[in-house]
Amino acid sequence: MRVGLTGGIGSGKSEVARRLAALGAVLVDADVAAREVVAPGTAGLDAIAAAFGDGVLTPDGTLDRERLAAIVFADPARLAELNGIIHPLVGEWMAAAEEAAVASAGPDVIVVHDVPLLAENHLADRYDLVIVVDAQPQVQVARLVGRRGMPEQQARERMAAQATRDQRLALADIVIDNSTTLDDLDRRVAEVWTELRAPRNVRPPA
């Protein structure tokens, strides 16, 4: 089973991903892929430097993510340009990771693709079902400010650059509410895992 897992920034999607992996899912993480495809010496990093200038590189030649983020989140056109470079490379990396997981664990494995921009990139039809991790917007802002030390205005800009809450929820086969406590989250993820392992009708091919 191929599961797409998504959620807005600060929703706690990574917490859900970790719990599903602990329960037995094979996790294919788009954030890990995004780091791998822009590692030093990769074509991805070379393309970003060509598009945005050497100023987005640190002195040791790695990607300065904070500097790049400050550029793209202030300009939708530049964000689209970056996505055009990164997303095809990430897709290739994740496809290879899934193929390796199935070869190792067998065809009955549940592969969870952790994809932050699933809604933005219209990827729902690639998965048998979609799980959306949801949180109240004020909870997202509080987490970004309190846990990541992000200025509130920057947090709201990051949220605004993503799909809306309603757009994500419209794609959901399963919703995990993560607006309350971690104990509540543990219970809900356990319920979802039971549901994933049960026979069910999956999303028909597009």
Q: Where are the alpha helices (DSSP H) in the chain?
A: 13-23, 30-36, 43-52, 65-72, 76-105, 137-148, 152-160, 165-169, 182-197
For residue 200, the model assigns a pLDDT of: 60
**Among 80, 102, 84, residue whose Cα is nearest residue 28:** 102
**Considering the entire predicted model, what is its pTM?**
0.80
Residue found by looking up tokens 């809604």 in the block:
119
According to the model, what pLDDT value does residue 203 have? 55
Backbone angles phi, psi at 2, to 5 degrees: -105, 115
Q: In the prediction, which pLDDT does 202 show?
A: 54
pLDDT of residue 204: 53
Q: Residue 190 corresponds to which tokens in the numbers above?
A: 């356990």
- Domain layout of the chain by residue ranges: 1-25+110-206, 31-106
In order of 101, 102, 129, 139, the CA distances from 15 in angstroms are 21, 23, 19, 15
Distance CA 23, CA 41 (A): 36
Digit-by-digit pLDDT tens for the chain (206 residues) are 999 999 999 999 999 999 999 999 999 998 899 999 999 999 999 999 999 999 999 999 999 999 999 999 889 899 999 999 998 999 899 999 989 988 888 778 899 999 988 999 899 999 999 999 999 999 999 999 998 999 999 999 889 989 999 999 999 999 999 999 999 999 999 999 999 998 764 555 54
pLDDT of amino acid 104: 85
Predicted local distance difference test score (pLDDT) of residue 108: 83
φ/ψ (deg, to 5) at 204: -70, 155
| Fold adopted by 1-25+110-206 | Rossmann fold (3.40.50)
* CA–CA separation, 176 and 48 (whole Å): 35
- Give the pLDDT confidence score for residue 198 in this predicted structure: 86
